[in-house]
Structure 1
Amino acid sequence: MTDSEARRSSALAPVARVDVLGVNVSIVTVDDLVSFVDSAVAGSFPVVIAAHNLHSVYLARTDSEFARFYQGSDVVVVDGWPVLAGLNRARAASGLAPLPSSHRFGSTDWIDRATALAAVRRVAVIGASSESSSAFVARLLSSPDAPEVLAIPGHPWSADRAAEAVERVSSFEPDLVLVGMGMPLQEQVVTGLIGHLDRGVIATVGGAIDQLSGTQSLAPRWTGRLGVEWLWRLASDPRRLARRYLVEPVQLALVIAKERRAR
């Protein structure tokens, strides 16, 4: 039995996973995820929350180490309209009703609620620039019942910084760890960290630290419900995101087609 399977067979109720686009995801809403965090914080082992969008699906289909990280995560949120669309196509083929847009959400949709939980008293934040990290921490501390926060900016990052982060976070004994860095770096950071924690929730949150801090523009939430958040983000930062949104989907389609021909 793997470490992940051992965790899922524990007292903490497992979250159902289903296959889509060659990866597997969890069927959860924001309410479900926040409830999971609330329960998992009180556990005696660390759990991992990840999220799949089309970018991570492409990486999982082309990088075996990256794929293993997602296979071993306890919850994998649907964080991308194409992933939800693929899931609903599979459900339709099986005669099941489509899932509503509430089953697709990003880290910015649940972080505020999770950090406000009474059970979450210590939060570690890894990633983003010093400016963005400081602004995000200030935002967390503005709450009357704010948790204690440990912040470790992600720029610049190195092997020495990674080792320092592991030492500082493990000594801090956090209830919740938010790791917001680019893929696959954030997954590598979590992999290096999880063996040094006895409990708590560790979540990969991508650019959520930058977005909630105000350093990056946060897409209006209605764009996610309509499946056009990617278009809003592309228009906001075309140089950084053009390859992800315009090239990688084609590459992923080619990978899937090649695998099907080989069967």
Structure 2
Amino acid sequence: MTVIPSLNVPLLNVDVTPLRREELLAHIRDAAREHRRMLVAGHNLHSVYLWYSLPEFRDFYDRAGAVVVDGMPLLALMRIGLKVPLRTEHRIGSTDWVEGLADLEGIDRVTLLGGTPAASDAVLKHLRSLGGQVDWQAIPGDPWRAENIEEIAGSIRDHDPQVLLIGMGMPLQERIADQLASRLDVPVIATVGGALDQLGGTQSLAPRRLGAMGLEWAWRLANDPRRLAGRYLLEPMKLAALLMLRP
């Protein structure tokens, strides 16, 4: 299992792997070429809250080979607390790097799992439009039916991908990643949240400059307040309470 050296985020006490987009893609390329297993995840305040709340979620993240920084608050805490020379480029969401697989040398087959049938078709069409040599496979995952895991594993096995992207939302996607990892021989498995829906256009994709400014959450909240209000407005307070109560 490939594990890239990490840094501990002050105050939050979680480990992350600060990588730029091209650095992450290079690690994915090398793991796929050498058929080394690697789990790729991303940490933001939402995932940190789940890390403290759910033991199985924490176990998944502790086994991940690369946990990229997917939130400006984490980057800011490392800049201040560790005084390491990290730049805004070290904050990368899944939408920042997934398209890069299209041009990644040695990556020929990629499977996407997640979204409604319409959303799955949309992201497949988008990624195919990028050109390149990748043979993309898209499998819908919404609504998710746990009893279909063997059928889905069989479809992925037939495609024989080097990279599997699972965009199902936390913590479901991490649970599915573990279930599929035990059934398949896929070198790289990455959990990518809503990136597949966003790249396919079925969810709004924030202008990338807002991510660098730490304001992507505000864009997403404004566009989907009913679904995201609890995550962005209430969860940070719950996380603060957990941090104060920890030993």
Pick the aligned partner of 2:226 from 215, 239, 242: 239
Residue 69, structure 1, aligned to residue 60, structure 2? yes
Partner of 1:228: 215
TM-score using structure 1 length: 0.89
Distance across 1 between alignment mates of 2:135 and 2:14 = 36
Equivalent residues in 2 for 1:187-226 (5 A)? 187-226=174-213
Equivalent residues in 2 for 1:1-263 (5 A)? 7-8=1-2, 14-20=3-9, 21-91=12-82, 96-259=83-246, 262=247
Distance across 2 between alignment mates of 1:183 and 1:30 = 22
Report deviation, 1:236: 1.2
| Paired residue type of 2:155 | R
Q: Which moved more, 1:40-49 or 1:212-221?
A: 40-49
SS at match of 1:50: strand
Distance across 1 between alignment mates of 2:239 and 2:201 = 32
Distance across 2 between alignment mates of 1:114 and 1:151 = 15
Structure 1 unaligned regions, length at least 5: 1-6, 9-13
Distance across 1 between alignment mates of 2:185 and 2:117 = 28
How large is the RMSD of aligned CA atoms in angstroms?
A: 1.4
Equivalent residue pairs, number:
245
| Paired residue type of 2:17 | S
SS at match of 2:229: helix
Distance across 2 between alignment mates of 1:41 and 1:59 = 29
Provide, for residues 59-101 of structure 1, a one-character-per-residue CA deviation record: whole Å limited to 9, x for no partner: 001111100000001100100111112222321xxxx344111
Q: Which moved more, 1:188-197 or 1:204-213?
A: 188-197
Whether contact under 8 Å (2:102, 2:130) holds in the other structure is: no
Structure 2 unaligned regions, length at least 5: none
TM-score using structure 2 length: 0.95
Report deviation, 1:140: 1.7
| Paired residue type of 2:4 | V
Report deviation, 1:111: 0.7
| Paired residue type of 2:105 | A
SS at match of 2:165: strand
Shift of the 203–253 alpha-carbon distance from structure 1 to 2, 3 Å rule, reads same
SS at match of 1:105: coil
SS at match of 1:203: strand
Distance across 2 between alignment mates of 1:53 and 1:258 = 20
